[in-house]
């Protein structure tokens, strides 16, 4: 267990566990997201997944580059939303 890669692996597993546990239940799990829900580009290790705070789907940065409050989900300040949710009229 003195191998630095072993520590990195364990830390990575723990970090993934914490991230999944802290995510809202309506968000699609990262493991289920292989492509952007908007433009359909396939995610790569260097292309970050972002969750729309309104619908919970996974998007690339370009397709989720909007900010709105989503009081129905408990977000009372502007947070990341997708283009589709951003275009919706009224409160999210």
pLDDT tens across 10-36, in order?
665 555 544 555 678 899 998 899 999
In CATH terms, the fold of domain 27-87 is Herpes Virus-1 (3.30.40)
For residues 74 and 57, give the distance between their C-alpha atoms in angstroms, rounded to a whole number: 17
Average pLDDT, the chain: 85
Residue 35 is given by DSSP the state B
Q: What is the largest CA-CA distance in the chain?
A: 56
Question: In this predicted structure, what is the pLDDT of residue 27?
Answer: 92
pLDDT at 5 over 90: no
Pairing of strands 75-81, 58-59: unpaired
Question: Structure pTM?
Answer: 0.74
68 vs 9, residue with greater confidence: 68
Which whole number is the average pLDDT over 46-65? 94
**pLDDT score at 50:** 94
- How many CA atoms are closer than 13 Å to the CA of 36, on its beta-carbon side? 18
């Amino acid at each position: 267990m003195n191998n630095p890669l072993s520590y990195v692996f364990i830390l990575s597993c723990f970090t993934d566990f914490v991230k999944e546990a802290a995510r809202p239940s309506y968000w699609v799990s990262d493991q289920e997201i292989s492509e952007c829900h908007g433009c359909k580009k396939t995610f790569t290790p260097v292309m970050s997944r972002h969750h729309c705070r309104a619908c919970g789907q996974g998007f690339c940065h370009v397709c989720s580059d909007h900010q709105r409050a989503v009081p129905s989900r408990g977000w009372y300040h502007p947070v990341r939303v997708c283009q589709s949710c951003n275009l919706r009229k009224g409160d999210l």
